[in-house]
Amino acid sequence: MPRLTLLLLLPLLGAAAIGLIHRDRDRLIRRVAISVSALALIQAWSLLWGFDPANPAPQFSEYVQWNPRLGSAYSLVWMGSPIPCCCWRPGSA
C-alpha cells in the first residue's frame, strides 16, 4: 500500500476497529487506540526522515488509476506542508 494512503487510512481503520469492540472492554479499546496511533506516528516519521527541506518540489506523491475505461484516478501529494493534498480526478468523456 502506498505510504501516504496508509498514513491517511490508519486512523480511519483504527476508529473502525474501535467501533467494533464492545464498550465495556475499556482496556482493549485503549490498547487498540494507542497501537494505531503509534503506527501512524511511525509512518509519519518515516516520511519526515526522507524529506529534504532544500528541495521545493513535491517529494512524496502517489497516483493510482482506479478505472482506466472511465479515466478516474486517485492522487495524493505531500508538498512539505502538514496537510497532504488529496485529489480525485474524474474521467473526461
Give tens-digit pLDDT for 56-72. Answer: 777 888 888 888 888 89
| Cβ atoms of 5 and 62 closer than 8 Å | yes
Q: How far apart are CA 74 and CA 12, in angstroms?
A: 18
DSSP string computed for 5-28 = HHHHHHHHHHHHHHHHS-TT-HHH
pTM, rounded to two decimals:
0.69
pLDDT tens-digit readout, 18-47? 999 999 999 999 999 999 999 999 998 888
Query: Both ends of the chain: CA-CA distance in Å?
Result: 29
Using alpha carbons, select from 65, 66, 55, 50 the residue that is nearest to residue 7. 50
